[in-house]
């Protein structure tokens, strides 16, 4: 079991990469904005933050992830080839598999953003460093700020196939008894029996589909609206605690 409550003076470099899919863009665009507080890690979108890629504007993101992998500069090889417009490597990154087991469980405790245009997401995605087909995703939660209510919230969970021909995309919306400003925990388990996603210990999604290849964790705050007045920033979400388990042999970076 690996646990992080972000109480140190800096991020754990043996667990986290503080860039969002850095191979598809440049460092000043992929780098996360965040601060370590007494209550956990506060992911931020700042007024002067650049779009992740100019082609995707408006899209700004602050993200932590547990692995990186890419081909050489100009190639089309790398983790999460999710865009239909021909992603190419703009920054070659080293293969770093800090935590990416082939089965396991994640528990992520968060307080979602309620800032306009934002979405908090927690997901597991294939590293693709062994096989380009290993690209499937377990969407632990996507929670739009606009869907966070006073006493309940609507979230998206499920599986996304991406480039894995062995999977079928299966996403659904769930209503959970979590209100504005409330700390809550999302969990995902995946193994030979399939995938299960829970919120506050209650199962909200299950599937017999299997993703038996290395999956890295992604925790991020997105802003998808055009930037507003400077006074509206920073926008933020809190990550209080992360607990990760998986076969030790699948964590060569630890």
41-50 mean pLDDT:
98
What is the pLDDT confidence band of residue 202, given thresholds at 50, 70 and 90? Answer: very high
Pairing of strands 202-207, 194-199: antiparallel
The structure's pTM equals 0.96
First to last CA, the chain: 11
Least confident of 20-24, 126-130, 207-211, 246-250: 246-250
Retrieve residue 178's tokens.
């979590």
- Is the pLDDT at 250 greater than 70? The verdict is no
What is the per-residue pLDDT across 218-246, written as a single tens digit (0 to 9) for each? Answer: 999 999 999 999 999 999 999 999 999 98
The answer to whether the beta carbons of residues 78 and 71 sit under 8 Å apart is yes
Confidence band of 249 (pLDDT split at 50, 70, 90):
very low
252 pLDDT higher than 70: no
46-60 confidence digits (pLDDT tens): 999 999 999 999 999
pLDDT one-digit tens code per residue, 105-159: 999 999 999 999 999 999 999 999 999 999 999 999 999 999 999 999 999 999 9
Confidence at residue 51, expressed as pLDDT on a 0 to 100 scale: 98
Quote the pLDDT of residue 253.
41
The whole-number pLDDT of residue 84 equals 81
100 has pLDDT over 60? yes
pLDDT in tens, 66-87: 999 999 999 999 999 998 887 9
CA pseudo-torsion sign 200, 117, 162, 239: negative
Q: Which residues contact 102 (CB under 8 A, 6 or more apart)?
A: 212, 213, 214, 215, 246, 247, 250
Residue 221 near residue 59, CB atoms below 8 Å: no
Q: Are 142 and 220 in contact (CB under 8 A)?
A: no
What is the pLDDT at residue 83? 85
Q: Identify the structural domains of the chain with CATH numbers, from first to last.
A: 2-14+34-60+98-250 (2.60.120.200)
- 248 — pLDDT class (breaks 50, 70, 90): low
> Which long-range contacts (C-beta less than 8 Å, at least 24 apart) are formed by 128-132?
128/69, 128/77, 128/78, 128/79, 128/80, 128/81, 129/67, 129/69, 129/79, 129/95, 129/97, 129/214, 130/213, 130/214, 131/213, 132/77, 132/81, 132/163
For the segment 185-203, the average pLDDT, to the nearest whole number, is 98
Residue 64 reports pLDDT greater than 60: yes
Contacts with 48 (C-beta within 8 Å, 6 or more apart), sequence order: none
In this prediction, residue 86 carries a pLDDT of 79
Q: Mean pLDDT in the chain?
A: 95
């Amino acid at each position: 079991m690996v646990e992080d409550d972000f109480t140190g003076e800096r991020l754990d470099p043996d667990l986290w990469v503080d860039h969002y899919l850095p191979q598809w863009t440049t460092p000043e665009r992929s780098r996360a904005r965040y601060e370590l507080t007494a209550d956990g890690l506060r992911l931020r979108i700042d007024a002067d933050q650049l779009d992740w890629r100019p082609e995707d504007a408006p899209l700004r993101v602050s993200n932590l992830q547990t692995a990186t992998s890419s081909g050489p500069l100009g190639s089309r090889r790398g983790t999460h080839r999710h865009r239909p417009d021909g992603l190419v490597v703009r920054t070659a990154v080293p293969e770093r598999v800090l935590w990416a087991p082939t089965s396991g469980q994640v528990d992520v405790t968060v307080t979602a953003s309620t800032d306009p245009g934002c979405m908090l997401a927690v997901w597991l995605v294939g590293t693709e460093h062994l096989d380009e087909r290993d690209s499937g995703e377990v969407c632990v939660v996507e929670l739009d700020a606009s869907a966070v209510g006073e006493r309940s919230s609507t979230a998206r969970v499920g599986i996304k196939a991406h480039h894995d021909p062995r999977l079928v995309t299966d996403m659904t919306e769930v209503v959970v008894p979590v209100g504005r400003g409330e700390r809550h925990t999302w969990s995902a388990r995946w193994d030979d029996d399939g995938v299960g996603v829970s919120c506050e210990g209650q199962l909200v999604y299950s599937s017999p589909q299997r993703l038996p290849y290395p999956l890295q964790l992604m925790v991020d705050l997105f802003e998808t609206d055009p930037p507003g007045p400077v006074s509206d920033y920073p926008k933020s979400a809190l990550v209080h605690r992360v607990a990760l388990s998986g076969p030790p042999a699948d964590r060569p970076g630890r």
